[in-house]
């Protein structure tokens, strides 16, 4: 590293001293904390992004958001060249970089990384970083800190794309590295045209009631609400109304949004008895999660929730149907056949009823540890891999080899049987691959896909919700002194340590019809999480409480569950 580069890093880093007594850790959400203590971390993530871009010789992204957290929080994360999350191999380096206490220590860590990763750090190679932020008031100043970090690396250029949803930035990084147009208008054009194609391919016999085919959306008073208003103008017959759009002075994520609706199972602010019978949906603060709900006719504030598990089931059902059409007997005359490997990926938190339903469809269901990075990696191993968490975050991944075959098959069918059911099925799958965000869960693209499939099926939200009945469940947290005392295996469903605790959990679970229970240590706080299911709510509550007491007993926390 040249002396001029070292001097620049020492000088610029002295402007962004780290907060005393604070240690940050890079996780699925990147770094996230109260916005008032994040400037140093965001500055250093700017440096990290520049190094990552130099290493990969590709465009990377930096997104400033705290998603569904309260408005006073903020966060920062890197988007890798694929459009996915930062490589897990770089997470420890991110932690070291952000927690370095002096400019000299920071410089030493950067030098070690440059040497270990063989980063071309000669000032000749260029780095390009796309920047985005959500609508939080703290976002603008944190964005400036990121720019300072990026500009402290010779050859690194920051391109400020302004206010975006998190999935939009992921999409743009992915598109830029594929040589495609990476702008917000290009994003809207791709998802809206793909949606229109799916609508045009709805079977002729399907009765579409326009009054029932419009959805009312809660925008969480965040960036998603703003962007949905843009989409509403492009697709005028899609969204009936956007509430909590961020334009009416509401507070971000305060009694609104997908996270609130999914966890509390109550109507968000701005919804009530006037919405009985309507199809409603909620985005989260940065629009990477989506859940649907309907307001029941009683006076309670409770809702009928349609969560990520139900969305996964709807998508799986539709895609399986299109694959079946493509492989019908008459289609086998082609010499261009491809047995697509369709798989579904869930975590242990997926409701057991959803897993049973998917298996009844004949689908392969794989489980991974909690966390999008695990789900995404496993889904990418299929020709078509679908993953969703119950919180409404997920997507559908299509392999390059399958898409190449599908394009060829569609061209072949266009020549010999244009307009046939097989060709329509091929076109639907191609449209889904362009509509759904291949980089990350995207509430806007998922909303369009749900709406297109419901119209295709001629289903109401109630019909969709009746695919299966969720098993009653309960989640608890138990405070412990050392959460690392719990070690799990089998996608976090079996506790290996402390010795004997799994046998005790199994014995307790066996007492309840359709009982299922597991424990796992939190990744961010000193608690052990307990998840329980049973055939009744009373049973699920009782099982969760009993296992929480076992955790307390085996770990000696001396603390009650909550």
Domains of the chain: 3-163 (3.40.120.10), 200-307 (3.40.120), 309-465 (no CATH), 473-555 (3.30.310.50)
The pLDDT score that the predictor gives to residue 330 is: 47
Return the active site residues: 67
Q: Which residues are annotated as a binding site?
A: 67, 284, 286, 288, 389-391, 520-524, 529
* Residue 465: its H or E element: helix 461-465
The pLDDT score that the predictor gives to residue 56 is: 96
305 contacts 261 by C-beta, under 8 angstroms: yes
Which residues have a Cβ under 8 Å from the Cβ of 279 and sit 6 or more positions away?
A: 212, 214, 215, 216, 292, 294, 454, 460, 461
The pLDDT score that the predictor gives to residue 212 is: 59
* Residue 454: its H or E element: helix 443-457
Look up residue 414 and give its two tokens.
């266009």
Q: Which residues are annotated as a binding site for Mg(2+)?
A: 67, 284, 286, 288
Q: Is 399 exposed, middle or buried (0-12, 13-18, 19+ CB in 10 A)?
A: middle
Sheet holding 73-79: strands in order across?
Answer: 31-34, 73-79, 60-64, 127-133, 156-163
Q: How many other C-beta atoms are found inside a 10 Å radius of the C-beta of residue 33?
A: 17
- Orientation angle between helical segments 421-435 and 308-326, nearest 10 degrees: 140
Q: Which residues are annotated as a binding site for substrate?
A: 389-391, 520-524, 529
Straight-line distance from the first to the last Cα atom of the chain, in angstroms, rounded to the nearest whole number: 52
* Predicted TM-score (pTM) of this structure: 0.93
Distance CA 187, CA 462 (A): 31
Look up residue 551 and give its two tokens.
């955790």
- Strand partners of residue 474: 532
Residue labelled with tokens 């800190």? 145
Look up residue 379 and give its two tokens.
């889904």
Distance CA 25, CA 47 (A): 17
Residues of the chain with pLDDT under 50: 211, 329-330, 558-561
Distance CA 531, CA 72 (A): 30
- The 3-class secondary structure across 25-81, one letter per residue, is CCECCEEEEEHHHCHHHHHHHHHHHHHHHHHHCCCEEEEECCCCCCCCEEEEEEECC
Which residues have a Cβ under 8 Å from the Cβ of 116 and sit 6 or more positions away?
A: none
């Amino acid at each position: 590293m040249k002396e001029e580069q070292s001097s620049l890093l020492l000088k610029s880093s002295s402007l962004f001293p780290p907060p005393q007594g604070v240690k940050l850790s890079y996780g699925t959400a990147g770094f996230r904390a109260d916005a008032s203590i994040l400037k140093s971390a965001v500055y250093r993530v700017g440096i990290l992004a520049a190094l990552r871009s130099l290493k990969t010789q590709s465009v990377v992204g930096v997104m400033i958001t705290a998603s569904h957290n309260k408005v006073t929080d903020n966060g920062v994360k890197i988007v890798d060249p694929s459009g996915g999350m930062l490589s897990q191999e770089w997470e420890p380096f991110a932690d070291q970089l952000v927690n370095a206490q002096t400019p000299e220590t920071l410089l030493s860590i950067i030098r070690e990384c440059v040497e270990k990763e063989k980063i071309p750090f000669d000032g000749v190679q260029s780095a390009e970083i796309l920047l985005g932020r959500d609508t939080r008031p703290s976002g603008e100043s944190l964005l400036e800190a990121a720019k300072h970090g990026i500009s402290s690396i010779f050859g690194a250029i920051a391109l400020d794309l302004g206010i975006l949803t998190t999935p939009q930035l992921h999409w743009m990084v992915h598109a830029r590295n594929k040589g495609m147009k990476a702008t917000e208008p290009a994003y809207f054009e791709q998802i809206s045209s793909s949606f229109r194609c799916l609508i045009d391919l709805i079977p002729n016999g399907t009765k579409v009631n326009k009054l029932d085919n419009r959805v009312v959306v809660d925008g969480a008073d965040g960036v998603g609400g703003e962007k949905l208003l843009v989409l509403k103008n492009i697709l005028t017959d899609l969204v009936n109304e956007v509430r909590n759009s961020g334009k009416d002075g509401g507070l971000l994520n305060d009694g609104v949004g997908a996270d609130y609706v999914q966890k509390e199972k109550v109507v968000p602010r701005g919804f009530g008895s006037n919405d009985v019978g309507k199809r409603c949906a909620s985005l989260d603060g940065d629009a990477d999660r989506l859940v649907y709900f309907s307001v029941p006719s009683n006076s309670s504030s409770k809702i009928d929730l349609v969560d990520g598990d139900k969305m996964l089931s709807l998508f799986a059902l539709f895609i399986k149907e299109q694959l079946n059409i493509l492989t019908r007997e008459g289609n086998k005359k082609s010499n261009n056949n491809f047995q697509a490997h369709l798989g579904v990926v869930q975590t242990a938190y997926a409701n057991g009823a959803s897993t049973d339903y998917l298996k009844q469809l004949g689908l392969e269901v794989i489980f991974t540890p909690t966390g999008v990075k695990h789900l995404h990696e496993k889904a990418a191993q299929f020709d078509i891999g679908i993953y969703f968490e119950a919180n409404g975050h997920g997507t559908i991944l299509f392999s390059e080899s399958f898409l190449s075959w599908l394009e060829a098959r569609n061209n072949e069918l266009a020549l010999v049987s244009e307009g046939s059911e097989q060709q329509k099925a091929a076109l639907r799958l191609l449209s889904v691959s362009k509509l759904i965000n291949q980089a990350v869960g995207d509430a806007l693209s998922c909303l369009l896909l749900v709406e297109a499939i419901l119209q295709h099926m001629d289903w109401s939200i109630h019909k969709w919700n009746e695919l299966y009945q969720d098993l009653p469940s309960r989640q608890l947290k138990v405070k412990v002194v050392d959460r690392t005392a719990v070690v799990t295996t089998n996608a976090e469903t079996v506790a290996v340590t402390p010795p004997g605790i799994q046998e005790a959990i199994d014995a307790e679970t066996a007492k309840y019809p359709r009982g299922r229970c597991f424990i796992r240590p939190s990744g961010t706080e000193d608690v052990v999480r307990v998840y329980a299911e049973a055939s009744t709510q009373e049973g699920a509550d009782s099982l969760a409480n009993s296992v929480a007491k076992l955790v307390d007993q085996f770990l000696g926390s001396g603390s009650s569950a909550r």
